[in-house]
Amino acid sequence: MTPFQLSLMEFSVAGTAAVLTSGTALFYLRRITLDRPAIGTFNGRDIRVLFVFIVFLPLLYALLPHWALTCFLSITFASALSIGLRPLLGPAALWLTVGTLIGASIWLSRTMLGTVWGWQLSWLEGDLLVTLAAVAIANLYVQGGMKLKHVSWFALTLGVYDVLFTTVLPVNSHLAEEFLGWPLDPSFGMRFGLYNATIGIGDLLVYALFLIAAFKAYGRLAGRVAMGLIVVFGVGAVAAAPLVLDNFITARTDVAIPAQTLFGPAAFVAYLWMRRRYGRERTMQEFLASADVVRPRQAAPAPAPVPALEPLPAPSPA
Amino acid sequence: MLETGIRQFRMAMGMVWGRKLDTANLARLVEDALATLAEFGEPGSDVQAVLDGPLADPESRTEFANRSLRRTARRLQAQSSFYSRRFAAAGIAADKLDVEALRRIPVTVKRDLVERQAEFLCADSNRYLATRTTGTTGRPVEIWVSRYELELLAGLGALAGVLRDENRASDIVQVNVSSRATLSVHLNAAVCRLVGSGCRVLGIVPPDEALDSLTEGGVTLLATVPSYLAELVVAARRRGLGPADFRLRRIDGGGEVLSTSLAAAARETFGVSQVNDVFAMTEVMPVTGRNCGGGHLHHDINMGLVELLDLDTGEPAAPGALATVVITPYFPYRECMPVLRYDTRDVVRCLPDGPLDCEAAGIPATSPILGKADHILRVGPTQVVTPRDLVEAVEALPSQPWPARFHTRLADGRVRLSLPESAVDGLGEAGAREHFAMRGLDVDLNLVADADAASLRTLRSDLHETTFVAAPALIGE
């Protein structure tokens, strides 16, 4: 494949992943309310905790043997899926679905990777798993009080992290290579011939967070701006980067692009613009009370009672 | 959210293991609760479990009580000389204590606290603030609390207040209790500090001054005692003030019997929907009781054991019987001068067996407080007249003699009720007797001059505090 064809392939896969995940997260946000604890809302310190977690998680991935990593990822995916599916399914259906999705991922990656279409089937199943997990976690955070301010700072910080851990300490590209073909690969991807194009679940989570936090904070127009930024900077720029830069080619000649390095600054500037233009972000209470939420259709009102023909007796004096 | 989860986990672990709670952690949880309300407008769906505890199941309740009792007893045995002796005399090992065995330990009475105060002080705690009961029911008791206790009680109060939407950062709380009720005053101020609301401590000042503050100061919550509330209602009506003159949204009363007539009058005059009749007592803080819409008093069972003992036998009271409320606050909620099986002498009537249908049905309940055990009049083998019966009847008189001033004694098996003359205005003596008879009270009336009214019954509002506001200007100023 030519570099342009590779970029086009990456654009198709990453674009599908980003739009599908972010769009589904928005669809979910507008229709489904997650349970939340009695006390607690996302704050800046939570973002710092999350960031520290994200920094150390890849190191954990790199250190764990594959069987332990599969167990860890099974628990992680099961938790995420159960959070997202709980409002939609009863307990039996929920755990059957979660078990099937995780079990299928393990089975497919162990038995179906001998052919291209086997890879494609395995990717499709994994993509579903990754999309659902990212949608659930994005909604958990935003419905839990994470603001656009938090998301944009998070994306900006991840931009620095991403470039460091892709070029100086290439843990991310190493992990992408290591995960390939293993069960529960936390990436959205597809195989075309000899080539795999992927985008990590972390990137998809940030895109989904950015879109739904912008929508929750400022409404539809902000949502459209956010989706535009995701497509341009989160997908287009990332796919086009290898055409102009050759810093991201690994020893295996794989191309690993630090997506947040391109998207983070754009998201942060967009947040600053939105804050300047629209002012204070809406709270979750204000969002839920707005017309941006799709409420279940009300049942037709019962027919009004026929007025009594006889006058009602006057209340007796106290 | 992650941080709050860790804080809640730390607090829960402290409760489970019976360790002293981190009060700074609790204060931050209050901030978290405020942030939650700012973002969502209401707490999450499992807030009831946080507030009332997961103790709706009687078996879990007993298990929880046994564990908490053992923890409390272990500390008392080691640190309180009074209870160390009590355990030894009863032959009870603190590690084996349970609700059944607890009954072998005699109740602690007010006289114990008055006469042997030093023996109740725990050796491992530091005294910080002493508070004295007002003494309206006899010789005052002095209770010491530690700094930890004060911070803990304020934190728990603030957290519950915020989650129940009883306290908001936008509130201004006016406190009209005796300024010498140091614990109550401190707690009100500390809760306001944690919640971020304003606190105006006025004390039992002339009612007109308190009303001026209510009308001009943007006060939204009023904490007072029923007798002073009565004085406020009377003064407000005299001045022609009505709901439009106040911004109040709730009144909390406690420490005395609050009659339904007075509560209704307060609601009507001040334009509030809620007048809470809270059961709280310095000696057994933070174990309190809350009234529900069904007219029950629900006792807090998360922070202490509440026993209902028959007035005659001292054994657990049967459904429908009168009982004195005996309370054991658990460690780590009390530290400096804790009590075990404290007989409050506050009388309630046990509810009939069967499920409750009120909003707090999962929490054990009784009738509201009927008065002090020593003030109950026995007019027959099974018939009694409680202070609440009398307060309700007197305050329902058409003359609206608020707060009720009366005195009773038994004469030849009948209640001889002394009232100020003005109390029967509009009814006359015969009409008044009929009024009481309609409420099941067969009384002999003894009318006394209005000037002697205050001597009939001591009330908390009698602890008036002077100010210079109403004093005439000095000549030459």
Q: What is the mean pLDDT of residues A43-59?
A: 81
Confidence of residue A311 (pLDDT cuts 50, 70, 90): very low
Token readout for B68 is 């908490």
How far apart, in whole angstroms, are the C-alpha atoms of residue A220 and residue A282?
A: 13
Rounded to 5°, the CA angle A304-A310-A311 comes to 95
Residue B304 counted as domain residue: no
A39–B2 CB contact, under 8 Å: no
In this model, does residue B419 exceed pLDDT 80? yes
In this model, does residue A211 exceed pLDDT 50? yes
What are the beta bridge partners of residue B349? B322
Size of interface A-B (CB pairs under 8 A): 74
pLDDT at A318: 31
pLDDT at B259: 94
Q: What is the mean pLDDT of residues B104-115?
A: 92
What are the beta bridge partners of residue B275? B251
* Single pTM value for the model: 0.81
pLDDT at A21: 94
Task: Mean pLDDT check: name the lowest of A193-197, B60-64, B81-85, B402-406.
Answer: A193-197
Cβ-based contacts of A36 with chain B (< 8 Å) = 40, 44-45
Q: Crossing angle of helices A3-31/A237-244, nearest 10°?
A: 160
A37–B4 CB contact, under 8 Å: yes
**DSSP letter, residue A253:** S
How far apart, in whole angstroms, are the C-alpha atoms of residue A129 and residue A32?
A: 19
B324 neighbors B349 (Cβ within 8 angstroms): no
Percent of chain A at pLDDT > 90 equals: 40
Residue B416 counted as domain residue: yes
In this model, does residue A308 exceed pLDDT 60? no
**B3 vs A35, A46, A284: nearest CB:** A46
Question: Residue B424 belongs to what domain range?
Answer: 376-453
Residue B371: left if φ>0, alpha if ψ -120 to 50, beta else—which one?
left
Cα A206 to chain centroid, rounded? 6
Cβ-based contacts of A282 with chain B (< 8 Å) = none
Is the minimum CB–CB distance between B261 and chain A shorter than 8 Å?
no
Confidence of residue A36 (pLDDT cuts 50, 70, 90): confident
Domain count for chain B: 1
Residue B383 counted as domain residue: yes
Q: Which amino acid is at B10?
A: R
Token readout for B409 is 């004694």
- A2 burial (CB, 10 Å; 0-12 / 13-18 / 19+) is exposed
Domain count for chain A: 1
In this model, does residue A35 exceed pLDDT 50? yes
Is the minimum CB–CB distance between B25 and chain A shorter than 8 Å?
no
Helix H or strand E segment including B107:
none
In this model, does residue B456 exceed pLDDT 80? yes
**A43 vs B3, B41, B49: nearest CB:** B3
Cα B364 to chain centroid, rounded? 17
Percent of chain B at pLDDT > 90 equals: 62
What are the beta bridge partners of residue B350? B366
How far apart, in whole angstroms, are the C-alpha atoms of residue A264 and residue A243?
A: 20
In this model, does residue B198 exceed pLDDT 70? yes
Which is higher by pLDDT, B237 or B413?
Answer: B237
CATH classification at residue B409: 3.30.300
DSSP A262-308: HHHHHHHHHHHHHHHHH-SPPPHHHHHHSTTS-PPPPPPPPPPPPPP
In this model, does residue A258 exceed pLDDT 80? no
Which is higher by pLDDT, B8 or B245?
Answer: B245
pLDDT per position as a tens digit, B293-337: 888 999 888 899 999 999 989 899 999 999 999 999 999 999 999
Question: Residue A257 belongs to what domain range?
Answer: 3-33+41-289
Residue A300 counted as domain residue: no
B40–A283 CB contact, under 8 Å: yes
Mean pLDDT of chain A: 82
pLDDT at A172: 67
Is the minimum CB–CB distance between A48 and chain B shorter than 8 Å?
no
pLDDT per position as a tens digit, B44-82: 877 776 676 656 677 888 888 999 999 999 999 999 999
A38–B163 CB contact, under 8 Å: yes
Rounded to whole angstroms, the maximal C-alpha distance in chain B is 75
Residue B257 counted as domain residue: no
